[in-house]
Structures are given as C-alpha cells and as structure tokens.
Amino acid sequence: MKPGTLKSRRGSAGDEEEAYIGFPVTPRKDYCWSSWLLKAVVALVILMAGVLIGLSASANVSRYYYFSSIGSSSLLLSSSSLQAAGGGGTGTGSSSGNKNNTNGDVFASSSTTSSGRSRSSNNKRKKMTEDEAPPPPVLLDFRGFVDPGPPWGHSMSDPELFWRASMAPRMEEYPFQRVPKVAFLFLTRGPLPFAPLWERFFHGHEGLYSVYVHALPGYAGRYRPSSPFHGRQIPSGEVSWGSITLVDAEKRLLANALLDWSNQRFVLVSESCVPVFNFRTVYEYLVNSAMSYVESYNIDVPQCAGRYNPRMAPEVLEEHWRKGSEWFEMSRDLAVDVVADQRYYTLFRRHCTPSCYPDEHYIPTFLHLRHGARNANRTVTWVDWSRGGPHPARFGKAAITGDLMAAIRSNGTLCLYNGKSTTVCYLFARKFAPSALPTLLNLSTTLLDF
C-alpha cells in the first residue's frame, strides 16, 4: 500500500490495522492534549481557591483568639486600677470585686444552654470582625505596685513570694510620698489574747504601722472591722516547734511585709508578747535607730556551741556559729537579705536537725556572717530565764503589778543606742498568760501611757 492511502473499513483486518498505524488521526491527538490541559487548569483554580479560603478563615480565628486573650489579660491586670479610677476603692474592695465577678461569670456560663453558647460565640465572632482594633490595654497602676493591699490578697507560693519581696531599688530617693512605718509581725498558733491591749497601743497612729499575722493553716481570726488585726492574716504554712518550719514562718512574715515599700522596721512578736512603752516611744526608738536588734552570741555550752554541725563547713565554721532569741527587730535592708538568702538557709535545713533549733541559730548566724557591724547583738524583747528550763517564766494575773512592769521598763541595765548609753533597752516583754489582760489594760492608761 502506498503511504497516505486510506483503506475502507470494509477491508481486511490487517489492512485496517496497517492504515491506523501508518496514519494516526491528527484531530484526536489535539483533543487529547486540550482535555488534559483543561483539567489541569481547573484543578489549579480549585486548589488556589481552597488555599485562599483557608488563609482567610485562619486569619479570622487567630484574630479572634488574639483579641480574646488580650481582653482577658486586661481584666486580670486592671482590678486595682479600675477600682482606683472608679471611686477610690481600697485593696480589699478590689480583691473581693474580682472574686465576685469571677464567680458570676462561672455561674452564668454553667447555666446557659448549648444553643445560647452557640449564639454567644457567633455574636462574638461577628463583633470581632466588625471591630478590627483590639481593646485598649489597661496598665498596672503605680500605686498598686508600691501598696499591695491586704496580705491575703495574693496567691503566691513561698518561692514566688520570696523572689518578689527580695527586689530592692537602687535609687536612694523614692518617687512618691513615703512615711516610714513599723511592721509588727505576729507569729501565733491561733487567737491573740492580748489583741485589745495592742489595739489600744495602735490607736491614733494609723499610717505609721502595719500588722501581719501568721497563724496555723485553717485558723481564721475574728476581729472588728475597725481593728488593726482585721484582714491582716497572711497565707500561712504548717509550723512545728524546734524545726525549720519556724524559720519558714518568719521569712513568710518578713516577705509579706516587704511588699509594702513604706515598711522600714520589722518586729517579730508572739501571742504572749505585750508592749511596755507607748507607740510614739517605740516608733521613734526604732525608726531613728542606726542598728538592728537581733540577739547574737556564742558560748561554750551544749545548748549553744554544742549544737554546731561540722557538716556546715566551710560555709559556716564553728567560730561563726551564733545563738539568740528568735524575737528579732531589724531594718529593711537586713530583712531583704534574710528573705533572699538560699545559701545558708539550705545548710540549716539539711544539717540543723530539730535538736539544733534552727529558729534560735539561723538568723543570728546569718547576720553575724553578713551584717555583723549593723547588728546591736541584743534583743528589744524582755524575757525571764532565771527559773531555768527549756521555756522562760510565764506571768499570769497574780504576778502582774506596776512594780514588775516598771522594772521591765527600767531594770538598771545599760545598753547602747546609736553609740550612747541608755536605760531604755526593752520595748516589749513576754511571756504573759491571757489572765493578765485586765491588769495590763488598767496599767496601759497609767504606767504604760497608751
């Protein structure tokens, strides 16, 4: 057969196959390529459309959650600022307001139906689409930073609290009006039997003192709203006598008091402790003092030097070991260092067992190593150890007389105050039984001059 000749389909099968092989039909080949090209274009268009729709949906969802997170963060940060701007509320009011709002939100969300939640979600998405700009952020108020409010108003753990409280400004001058205050730290198991006496002691001197109470977990003291003890109980922990937990409680009290930048002096007292001078005398004595008052000594007896553990070396050597009353008074700088310390505290936790009594050794030893020249090495809290035994003498109703209180105030002992001798060495006294309260209240208007 000649090339280019087409045979009729009525021919033989071999002729038909030969014609097909030799002369492929051009229109069919064009149609095949056009069909594949059209399919590829359509698939590419569908793919691009899907990508664009996906990116648009993702952007809307991201913007919605971004705005939602900013709004929730602003609500958390703005409690004190909004309260102050809206009418001068106190820290207590703002804290309770936040809690009420939170409870209200939880109750409302739990009581709505699933369809109601869907409509609410759709409305939120619609609103966020319409309002492209995020809500303006609410910044923390400066006053909320320098005045933390009531001590129960935070939920910080001990490490968080100690880290926050150990911050100290490098600038000597403060950018706000500050009146130095004395922080009274009450370390107690439960009730404060001498609260009426302390209330009379504090009366009329608001703004010059702060009160912090560390009681056992689960105990909630009841005081009148006008009492200086009302709302002053801090988040506490378990405490057992003779263990490192007493040091933990002391550091907890110091750290909470350090959150208030106006507190400049810190006094640790117990539920059996009472003041023996009026507030003005105590305030002037402490605020104007160049020294701190932590009892610190070392004598070669089993109850002092005998408690040293050689495993504390080389950080704490035997000649560094000190003992003293746990009822201290110290300046703000020293309080910051005590709260911030981890090096020596860890040694005492490991090697000062309960028979070592860390509360009697940790702070005296630490201050001797770090701030020996700034400590007067004496306490301002009087106590009677003349009867011997592991505990000091306790005075009940029958033992309280004017002569006893006068002897405590001026017992012939001389001590140094800012480099000069004085007979005023003790500002507080312990231990007193609750039965002594009526007599002490009577003496407060005469001898004690409250």
Q: What is the pLDDT of residues 194-203, one digit of tens each?
A: 999 999 999 9
Structure tokens at 157: 């753990």
377 close to 295: Cβ distance less than 8 angstroms:
yes
Q: Find all residues with CB under 8 Å of 294, minimum gap 6, and list them.
A: 324, 328, 329, 330, 363, 364, 367, 375, 376, 377, 379
Pairing mode, if any, of strands 428-429 and 381-382? parallel
Q: What is the average pLDDT score of the chain?
A: 80
Q: What is the pLDDT of residue 123?
A: 54
Residue type, 434: P
Specify the residue for token string 């306490």. 379
pLDDT value of residue 292? 98
Question: 241: which 2 tokens?
Answer: 């006598």
Q: What band does 164 get if pLDDT is binned at 50, 70 and 90?
A: very high
Is-cis flag, bond preceding 431, omega within 30? yes
Q: What average pLDDT does this structure show over 190-196?
A: 96
Region 75-90 average pLDDT: 38
The pLDDT score that the predictor gives to residue 109 is 37
Minimum mean pLDDT among 75-89, 274-288, 350-364: which range? Answer: 75-89
Three-state DSSP class for residue 43: helix
> What residues contact residue 411 under an 8 Å CB cut-off, 6+ apart?
426
- Domain ranges across the chain: 15-84+92-140, 146-444
Q: How far apart are the first and last CA of the chain?
A: 137
DSSP 8-state class, residue 24: -
Residue 196's Cβ-count burial label (10 Å; 0-12, 13-18, 19+) is middle
What are the two backbone dihedrals, phi and then psi, of residue 210, each rounded to the nearest 5 degrees? -135, 150
- Find out whether 281 and 380 touch, Cβ atoms under 8 Å: no
| Residues in CB range of 51: below 8 A, 6 or more apart | none
User: pLDDT band at 215, cuts 50/70/90?
Assistant: very high
What is the distance between the alpha carbons of residues 194 and 264, in angstroms, rounded to a whole number?
Answer: 25
Give residue-wise pLDDT tens across range 104-130.
Answer: 333 333 334 444 444 444 554 444 444
The alpha helices in 328-409, defined as continuous H runs, are 332-340, 343-351, 358-371, 402-409
Contact indicator for 260, 149 with CB cutoff of 8 Å? no
Cβ atoms of 200 and 441 closer than 8 Å? yes
Most confident among 28-42, 123-137, 152-166 (mean pLDDT): 152-166
% of the chain surpassing 90 pLDDT? 57
Distance of CA 277 to the CA centre of its chain: 33
Of residues 407 and 391, more confidently modeled? 407
d(CA 182, CA 284): 10
